Amino acid sequence: MELATFPSSTGIEHAAERAADEAGSLMQLLGLNPLQLHQLMKGAVPLPTLLPLAEFYRDKEFELGLDEGDSDSDSEDEFDEDPNMLNQVLEAAEICSFNMSSFEDPSEEEAEELYTKDFRNIAMQRSVAMLPPATLGVCTHLEPTPIAQSEYTLHQQVVHRLHKVLREYQDTPQFPSKVKSCRIQWESSGSQPKNENSVNAVAAASAATKKVVEAGVSVIHPLKVGSYGVVFTQWGLMLGHGHQWHSNSTKGGGTHRKHGSVVEVSNISAASYIAIQLFEWHTITAQFGAISEATALLGTQHFALLPAHAFLYTFSALDLPLVIGDGKLHLSDHSLSLYQQLKAGLPHFKQAMKLFTKRRTVEDDLDTE
């Protein structure tokens, strides 16, 4: 216990001294002489002790004590009768003191050995394994720590339920993984980290930029004269090559203003009509031809003036059709698979076009009124 609470070498020495004192006191209370007990355990002859005083007196009646009637003069006479009695007592005392001084106490040797031992390594290992309260010598609990209460109190149950309801109604963060990746990049680069609002703004801007880049028609990827794309016609889905774009936003005059020719448009709704050349898919040659089924009787190329909403998809600069001789176009595998997917949904396109045309007719009638 002393080693556990006093890990320093000074504390260990004090503890050893107190333990030795307590052991000696206990032996004295039991009526035992530690020195004689040690000699008996070794089997040695006990040391001589003082003889009874009666042995030094010739008068045996002195053992019963002096009578009350005797005076000091009588006692002085007794000592005068034997002048060598006092010398004998002194000699016996000197003999005992000499024998006691020559005897070595084994407990003192053990105490010296205890002082020479180095307990610093033990104390160092103890301090490494101890908790902060133990390093300060503080006793936190006299008994083992009681088991934690397994059931919540009524107050804790109410608070726990309120927190659960709040978590259910809170919105989930939209970009937790992106925020974490940004923090990892900041820590690796050593740059100054930004706050959460900046991270959300960067993530939103990145998503918007990606949509702009992938968009078919935008400010950075407008529809121009000569653009290729997939168009909806009364003969089905076909490839189109734009020759001229018309828009009624170039001149004033309200809803029925005149249409003007434009070079490019950044939004498909900004155009009104498209003068376009059509290419039809030929299953036998697996290519798109300029002569369609509608113009095959005359043997001429197919041109049409279509509304702007009929232009469904425009090809990017990397997926432009490859022009082959005799008015034929060849698409890449990616563009061809996309065309096949759009062609599979042709009935839905027809229904959507009817609804869109009907809505535009109602809007025009309302504007006229």
pLDDT of residue 6: 45
Tell me the average pLDDT of the chain.
Answer: 69
Q: What is the DSSP letter of 136?
A: T
Residues 307-321: pLDDT tens digits?
A: 888 888 888 777 778
CB 239 within 8 A of CB 228: yes
pLDDT of residue 31: 67
Q: What is the DSSP letter of 54?
A: G
94-109 burial, b at 16+ Cβ within 10 Å, e below that, comes to eeeeeeeeeeeeeeee
Q: pTM here? A: 0.40
Q: What is the DSSP letter of 251?
A: S
Helix (H, G, I), strand (E, B) or coil at 354: helix
Residue in 271, 247, 241 with CA at minimum distance from that of residue 261: 247
pLDDT for 24 beyond 60? yes
Residues 286-312: pLDDT tens digits?
A: 888 888 888 888 888 899 988 888 888
Element holding 211 (H helix, E strand): helix 196-214
Helix axes 196-214, 176-189, angle to 10 degrees: 110
Torsion of CA 184, 188, 192, 197, to 10 degrees: -20
With DSSP H G I counted as helix, E B as strand and the rest as coil, what are the percentages for the chain, rounded to 5? Answer: 50, 15, 35
Helix (H, G, I), strand (E, B) or coil at 60: helix
User: For the chain, how far is it from start to end, CA to CA, in angstroms?
Assistant: 103
Higher pLDDT, 295 or 363: 295
pLDDT for 121 beyond 80? no
Higher pLDDT, 351 or 14: 351
Distance, CA of 100 to chain centre: 73
pLDDT of residue 104: 57
Torsion of CA 165, 166, 170, 172, to 10 degrees: -80
pLDDT for 367 beyond 80? no
Residue in 310, 328, 339, 301 with CA at minimum distance from that of residue 223: 310
Q: Report the distance separating Cα 83 and Cα 61, nearest Å.
A: 19
Helix axes 106-116, 9-29, angle to 10 degrees: 160
Could you tell me the pLDDT band of residue 181, with boundaries at 50, 70 and 90?
A: low
Q: Report the distance separating Cα 32 and Cα 41, nearest Å.
A: 13
Q: What is the DSSP letter of 293?
A: T
